[in-house]
Structure 1
Amino acid sequence: MLNKISSYQLFAITFIYQMGTSIIFGFGGSAGRDAWIAELVSLCLGLLVIMIYISLMRFNPGLTLVEWFPAQLGRWIGTPLAFLYPIMFLYIVGRIIADIRDMVSTALLPNTPLLIITLIFTVIVAYCVYGGIEEVSRLGELFLPIVLFLFCIEIVLLARSGVLHTRNLLPLLENGWQPVWNVVYPSGITQSFGETLVLAMFWPETKHTDKLMKITVYASLLTGIIIACFDVLGILVFGNMFSGLLYPLYTLLSVISIGKFIENIQMFGALYFLMTALLKSVIIMLAAVKGVQQLTKMKSYRVLIIPACSISLLLGLTMSQNIAEHIYRHHFEILVPYIWVPLLLILPMLLLVVTRFRRMIK
């Protein structure tokens, strides 16, 4: 059942997965007009983190993320550590459902019950997960040109609207490097780039594993450059106000005005957000159920889809009361330092050290 994902499909799902919800929330707002610098620095360091993941894949050929730990640390230590990843995946899908809940109810459908919004999204996720990695790969193959086309159209429309002011980018590093570094570590490295570890659940199923590193690096470069471009566009339009906007890239579309004919095209932003959020949720949910299947030696992961999606839906509805609590408390104070840093940075680095040490002994 291997060799399902082509090189183009791997590039597509990697790029759209890494874009995720950053395409609507923006990145590095706390760095102000230097947010784009923080993104480029995060890209450089994030590529080093991705190299660690790919090294682990090469040291454990044919094994997925959750199989690395029992293979290197033994069943009694490795299996409990590996189970932490499916649990984290369910939590992250719950966070994306909460993102959908807040964004759609705030900006698009304010009078629609939250349960209806989140339930419809979760049902679509479950349906796509049921199709397996082949269907997910085709979905990414379809979404990639649409996202890139919308991005190019947005740049053209903003330029024609006369709202881009280069003076808003200056002065660079007005407050020094400290605000930039505060964005870069730990959230900048883990968001998008550290999260790429989820795709290690599917790397053994690619047709050309020898090209995996090149494809992943190219996709990550494109992700980092486009997010930096979004930040630059937001700063060119809003200046210092960029750091205070909740949905800066969505708000960016509201300023487009050409001949009083092309105006208020926020649906571009909605398409961005829904496509990338959907594909990211499907990939993470599929990784969660396949991880549990592999660790418990179940015959099929499909029996786990409804329970797993139900857990994520419950989390998405209950983890926060409002958007401020969801982003500033749960993301920056809980998710990043206590979940992402240990599971996306510390454990993979320790596993790489153990793996290399065992190879040296042999």
Structure 2
Amino acid sequence: MNKISSYQLFAVTFIFQVGTTIIFGFGGQAGRDAWIGELVSCCLGLLVIMSYIALMRMNPGLTLVQWFPAQLGLWIGTPVAFLYPLMFLYIVGRIIGDIRDMVSTAILPNTPLIVVTTIFTVIIAFCVYDGIEGVSRLGELFLPMVLIIFSIEVVLLANSGVLHFRNMLPILENGWQPVWKVVYPSGVTQSLGETLVLAMFWSETKQTDKVMKITVLATLLSGMIITCFDVLAILVFGDMFSGFLYPLYTLLSVISIGKFIENIQMLGVLYFLMTALLKSVVLMLAAVKGVQQLTKMKSYRVLVIPACAIALLLGLTMSRNIAEHIYRHHFEIMVPYLWVPLLLILPGLLLVVAWFRQLMK
């Protein structure tokens, strides 16, 4: 069995959590208080993640989809566990939809959508075939690149004369209500609650006793980076930040140093493609491995092409436009009906059951 090193787990966790938030921004509904929403979400999300790790310790050597049959029995646990590979597949379809909309509206408006999405899906399939070892190497490669690009962006923005600290004020002008709206349920579940997918691979780490420490550190770093992005966008745009579809992509367009360093939005595209690719590969690998483990198949590789084809079809057909894709499918359907039950309620119930079973023993 391939084993994941501590650094690889840290890199994969960090980039997975940053995910597509790096281009869409976080908590636009809270306006200039979005950064407070991210900090609160990070703290609450840490508690959720620690409950996942507690479940891992109560089920040593088992993956996410094996926890449910182990604690609830085959007849109840197996059907419940099957919900998770299906959710992972659906989220991959959503990310492909994000790529479709981002490329068609901001990067290559005249390129056929089927071409861009198919190429992206083929790359996902290729990486998934390589297994968790390939995903780990991808994380190792992307982590320094993301941090270097982020540092360059901060330096360029600071030297462009576009940061105005008065845009941050007044803090909490409308009270805590707008902040809590972005914290729960979407803030806690988006990226942080989604970290549950990594429970498919925690049992394959070289030092399982360090999973909590590594995951907590990666979560703190991702929370800090996303908070910094929100703060930068607010310093530049103020309350207008909430009106942009791709605020962090737009942020790069204002960089201008001596009319020489300009139009560097491609840095944002690099961010987006790297983090979206890694997140998609992790989710797809978790989906096919989950089905393999639940059905006792010898290999997950026979499932990769059919699963990627389904994800591509979902990405192309799940929404007619970007507004429907983001606002209706994400906030009205996925968050309340998928993420809250599968990322918060079911793991919470399973934790109670596992704790009672240990108490009985």
Name the structure 2 match of 1:271: 270
Q: How many Å separate the matches in 1 of 2:112 and 2:87? A: 27
Q: How many Å separate the matches in 2 of 1:196 and 1:336? A: 15
Name the structure 2 match of 1:162: 161
Q: Which runs of 4+ in 1 moved over 6 A?
A: none
Flag structure 2 segments of 5+ consecutive residues without an equivalent.
Answer: none
Name the structure 1 match of 2:297: 298
1:49 lines up with 2:48 in the alignment: yes
Deviation for aligned residue 1:38:
0.1
1:36 lines up with 2:44 in the alignment: no
Q: How many Å separate the matches in 1 of 2:297 and 2:308? A: 18
Name the structure 2 match of 1:185: 184
Q: How many Å separate the matches in 2 of 1:193 and 1:111? A: 35
1:230 lines up with 2:229 in the alignment: yes
Deviation for aligned residue 1:212:
0.5
Name the structure 2 match of 1:100: 99
Q: How many Å separate the matches in 2 of 1:225 and 1:342? A: 27
Name the structure 1 match of 2:207: 208
Q: How many Å separate the matches in 2 of 1:59 and 1:310? A: 36
Name the structure 2 match of 1:256: 255
Name the structure 2 match of 1:127: 126
The residue type equivalent to 2:26 in the other structure is F
The residue type equivalent to 2:143 in the other structure is L
Deviation for aligned residue 1:192:
1.1
Q: How many Å separate the matches in 1 of 2:52 and 2:118? A: 34
Q: How many Å separate the matches in 2 of 1:259 and 1:220? A: 37
Alignment of 1:51-130 (within 5 A): 51-130=50-129
The residue type equivalent to 1:169 in the other structure is M
Q: How many Å separate the matches in 2 of 1:223 and 1:46? A: 12
Deviation for aligned residue 1:268:
0.3
The residue type equivalent to 2:282 in the other structure is I
Q: How many Å separate the matches in 2 of 1:351 and 1:194? A: 15
The residue type equivalent to 1:344 in the other structure is L
Deviation for aligned residue 1:105:
1.1
User: Aligned pair count?
Assistant: 361
Name the structure 1 match of 2:354: 355
Q: How many Å separate the matches in 1 of 2:103 and 2:126? A: 21
Q: How many Å separate the matches in 2 of 1:101 and 1:295? A: 32
Say which SS state the counterpart of residue 320 (structure 1) adopts: coil
Q: How many Å separate the matches in 2 of 1:232 and 1:299? A: 49
Q: How many Å separate the matches in 2 of 1:257 and 1:122? A: 35
Deviation for aligned residue 1:224:
0.4
Deviation for aligned residue 1:77:
0.1
Q: How many Å separate the matches in 1 of 2:11 and 2:230? A: 22
Cα deviation code 1:24-68 (max 9, x no counterpart): 000000000000000000000000000110000000000000000
Name the structure 1 match of 2:337: 338
Say which SS state the counterpart of residue 159 (structure 2) adopts: helix
TM-score under structure 1 length normalisation: 0.99
Deviation for aligned residue 1:173:
0.2
Q: How many Å separate the matches in 1 of 2:240 and 2:293? A: 48
Name the structure 2 match of 1:247: 246
Cα deviation code 1:312-362 (max 9, x no counterpart): 000000000111000000000000000000000000000000000111111
Say which SS state the counterpart of residue 262 (structure 1) adopts: coil
Q: How many Å separate the matches in 2 of 1:181 and 1:100? A: 29
TM-score under structure 2 length normalisation: 1.00
Q: How many Å separate the matches in 2 of 1:314 and 1:58? A: 37
Name the structure 1 match of 2:316: 317
Q: How many Å separate the matches in 1 of 2:310 and 2:134? A: 23
Q: How many Å separate the matches in 1 of 2:327 and 2:229? A: 21
Q: How many Å separate the matches in 2 of 1:60 and 1:282? A: 25
Q: How many Å separate the matches in 2 of 1:90 and 1:240? A: 35
The residue type equivalent to 2:230 in the other structure is D
Cα deviation code 1:59-104 (max 9, x no counterpart): 0000000000000000000000000000000000000000000001
RMSD: 0.4
Q: How many Å separate the matches in 1 of 2:281 and 2:239? A: 36
Name the structure 1 match of 2:12: 13
